[in-house]
Each structure stands twice: as C-alpha cells, then as structure tokens.
Structure 1
Amino acid sequence: MPNPESPVPPERIPPLDSELLSLSEKDITFLRTYISPDDHKVRERILDIQKRAYAEYPYPCVRAFNFVNLFMAENPIYSTIVDAGRGGHTLFLDLGCHMGTDVRKLVCDGYPASNVVGCDLRPQYFDFGYELFGDTDTCPIHFFADNVFDAPFFMFDFPGTTVARTTAQNPPAFGSVTHLSQLCGTLTHIYTGALFHLFNEEVQYTLALQLAELLKWTPGATVFGRHQGLEKAGKIDDPLGR
C-alpha cells in the first residue's frame, strides 16, 4: 500500500510559517505547565522542534503546529473516557500518537499512565516529544513503534467469514509492549487522530478491521478520533503530491 511518509520532492514542500501557530487557552495552560511558565520559552521550544521534525517528515500537521494542539481533549466523548480510566480496569491506546501530546494531556487529566500506551510508525516522533516536553527521564507513558498493518488478523477469515476469536484474558504489562499484536482483544479505548484520511477507502476498511481486532469486546469499549473528509467521496488534494 502507499506509504504516506514517502519522500517528497523539495520543490513541493511549503516553507514553514511561524504565523500558523495558533493556541487555545487550554493549549497554552497545558504547555505552560509542561514546558515553562514563560510563553517566550514555550514558543521557542515549539518552533525548534517543528523545524527539526519538518526537516525529517514534512507533514502538513507539523507545518500547522497540530502537534501542540489538544485535539483529543476536544472530542465530545473525552470526559467519558477520562472518567472510565479513573475507575480502573481500562487500557488506552493512541494509535498514530505522533509526539504524544494528547496522551500526556490524558494522563494529566487523571487517566492512569500505567494503562496508557502510544504507538506510531516512526520512533523519531517520540524523541521529538521528549525534547518538546523535557520529560525524557520522567514521562510515565510507554511509547513503541509498530505498523498496524503488520498485526495479524485472528477475527476474520476473508472475504468476510467471521471466525472465532479468543480474547486475551491477561494483557501484557503496558511497559513491555513492543508490538500491536500483543494487545489483541485487550484495549478498552483506542484513539486515532488524523490517521484514516492518509489512506484510500480500501485501506481505511482494513484499518478499521485492525482496530476491531485490538478492541476488547465489552460494554463501553470505544474507538474515537478525528479525520479530514470530503462531502463527496474522492482523494484529498495533497499539495505534497503523495
């Protein structure tokens, strides 16, 4: 399948624009707590991380500073998710977590860090996150790199015949997880932000099945997120030509 992080010709990459940095009061409060009470230092740190991350992966979301916006916390079901986490016996995955801003906010709001993991395709994003928030040695959240499309299917025998699935009864300690396949049937909450729209319809369908494979079949189990879409089916006009 197409890799959304395929190399992009330099002439297609838009230049950075610091004026695109837009922070809500919630964003600013969180960043002051995590980075510095000095707004100038916060801005300098954000611009430095953006410049270096964009040089490696020129994503529109990096150019637009989305990596410091608390999108997950704006979701209508967010408070319900946090309350469920506080009650215990839940496991949370942020798939496509990028630098881990959303899950840091989640833990800050009371979801137990020991029950939260972040996964992305590129481990470099985690390093940028540690630098951004200055918590390399103190961040309690476990991050690991994996490709969701490499996780095996157990639930379906294509082209659509449902087969028995054995739900994992004893999920591994989150701090030891290195592959998504270890989480099959264990997750109570899955967040995917700005992930589905990177792929065509066929691959999106496969991704949805993979998420269902990871989810624990229990009342309250939830997949939520945010994605760009069109009023009519078709491909998003990607200025990077991918």
Structure 2
Amino acid sequence: MSIHPIYPEILSRLTSTSSSSRILDLGCGLGQDERKLMFDGVKPEKIVGVDISQGLINAGYDLFMDRGSKEEDIITFVKGDILVEDPLKWAEGKLAEGVEIVHVGAVFHLFEWEQQVVLASKLATLTSSKEDAVIFGYQFSSPNPGVHMLGPKKEAKVFGHDKGSWTKLWEEVGEATGTKWRIEILEVIPDRGLVTKGNWGFVNGRLMRFSVHKV
C-alpha cells in the first residue's frame, strides 16, 4: 500500500485532524499495511483490515508481537468473505455508515468477471454515501484481458485486466448500484510477483496500480 502513487494523499486524509475519513483494507493478510499506517501516524480506530483467513490475521499478531496491545493501539481486524457477506455489518456494525477509503491489493484478479462485479458492487455500496470516496490498489494486468492459467499443470488462474476492461467493469458496477466512478490507471509495470519464466509464466503479465474515485 505504501508504495502506491496516491499513498501520500491517502495518508494526508487519514492523519488530518479535520477529517473523519477511515480506511478499509480488503485482503489485509498479515496486516502489515495496517501497522504501517499506524506507524505513519494514522489513529488505529480509523483502520479496519479484512481477510478471508483468520489464520493469516493470527499469524500477523505473532509476527509483529502486538497481540494484547493497549486498547488505544489496537487495529480492528475482521475475518470476512465479501462475496457472501454484507461488509456494512463487519466489525460489529462499525462500518454501518460506510467508509471513505478502501484499499484492495491483489484481490480482484483472483476472481472471474461475474464475481468481480459482485465484489466491486459491494465496495461501491460501502462507499457510496461518501462524496470523496476512493477505492485504490493493485492487481495483475494483461494486454489480453481475461482468465490466464498458471502453474506447471495450469491448475491456477488469474484474471488480467487492461484499462479498457477495468473501465468496463466499473461502468457495469455503476449501472448496477446507481453510482458513477472515475477510473485512473496510475502505473503499469512488469510483473514482479508471479514468476514470468518457465512453467509458471503469466504471458505478458503486468502489475497495474489503480484508483477509482466516486463522482
């Protein structure tokens, strides 16, 4: 998260004494980004991390050795599956009124188009009441949008977007949710996450950093 091009802007909003903005990190994993935010001056009550794996969340506490910290230093972590749950009900209703900022790192490309529409629509609903809402993050990209098979036996898959398909996705989400979004592709760089040679190759794989702004 911290190397995303708009991170300074996000950090400024979250640390401003005149702003009540909060951030939800979908797919937080070990929670390193949440702890980085707090290290950079964001109050923990403004941070919510969500992951489908409670094991990863627990491993984060062990890794950073901060389980049982003072109440004012505790970040909210939630085990949740956005495809089947209502994010407005996460964190014991803490998100009932929505959030202003959502980070989504390496999540969208795990699903096919229909599931991505569901995921993005729920994020749109979660942020729709906020005039300055922004959803930002990164995912794998391809000049040939669609599902790409990975692995020695092609047993894994990711969905690679280009600017056109990513924009089309959010147009569909906007129509479904009655919202409008401005799409920015801030950076497309050679993939540094998946092996690009040999049997694991992701053909023409790229890493795309994006931001989606409510208008």
TM-score by length of 2: 0.63
Structure whose CA Rg is larger: 1
> How far apart, in 2, do the equivalents of 1:146 and 1:198 lie?
16
Aligned to 1:198: 110
The answer to whether the 8 A contact 1:193-1:225 is kept is: yes
Aligned to 2:77: 143
> How far apart, in 2, do the equivalents of 1:146 and 1:78 lie?
25
Moved more, 107-116 or 187-196: 107-116
Deviation (angstroms), 1:151: 3.0
The answer to whether the 8 A contact 2:98-2:130 is kept is: no
Q: What's the C-alpha RMSD, in Å, of the aligned pairs?
A: 2.3
TM-score by length of 1: 0.57
Deviation (angstroms), 1:113: 0.7
CA distance 1:149–1:83, change in 2 (3 Å): same
Match among 61, 73, 76 for residue 2 of structure 2: 73
Aligned to 1:93: 24
CA distance 1:185–1:151, change in 2 (3 Å): farther
Match among 199, 215, 223 for residue 135 of structure 2: 223
Deviation (angstroms), 1:237: 2.3
The answer to whether the 8 A contact 2:103-2:137 is kept is: yes
Moved more, 211-220 or 224-233: 211-220
Contiguous gaps of at least 5 residues in structure 1: 1-71, 154-167
| Matches for 1:102-141 after TM superposition, within 5 Å | 102-138=33-69, 140-141=74-75
CA distance 1:130–1:95, change in 2 (3 Å): same
CA distance 1:183–1:237, change in 2 (3 Å): same
Instruction: Name the aligned partner's letter for residue 189 of structure 1.
Output: I
Aligned to 1:18: none
Deviation (angstroms), 1:221: 1.4
> How far apart, in 2, do the equivalents of 1:118 and 1:152 lie?
15
Deviation (angstroms), 1:185: 4.5
The answer to whether the 8 A contact 1:117-1:142 is kept is: yes
> How far apart, in 2, do the equivalents of 1:219 and 1:132 lie?
37
Residue-pair matches, total: 149
State the secondary structure of the residue aligned to 2:149. Answer: coil
Aligned to 2:122: 210
**% identity of equivalent residues:** 30
Aligned to 1:83: 12
State the secondary structure of the residue aligned to 1:94. Answer: strand
Which protein is richer in helix relative to its size?
1
> How far apart, in 1, do the equivalents of 2:91 and 2:130 lie?
22
The answer to whether the 8 A contact 1:144-1:178 is kept is: no
> How far apart, in 1, do the equivalents of 2:27 and 2:116 lie?
14
Map Cα deviations across residues 122-161 of structure 1 (whole Å, 9 max, x no partner). Answer: 11111110111111122521101011012349xxxxxxxx
Which consecutive aligned stretches of 4+ in structure 1 deviate over 6 angstroms post-superposition?
A: none
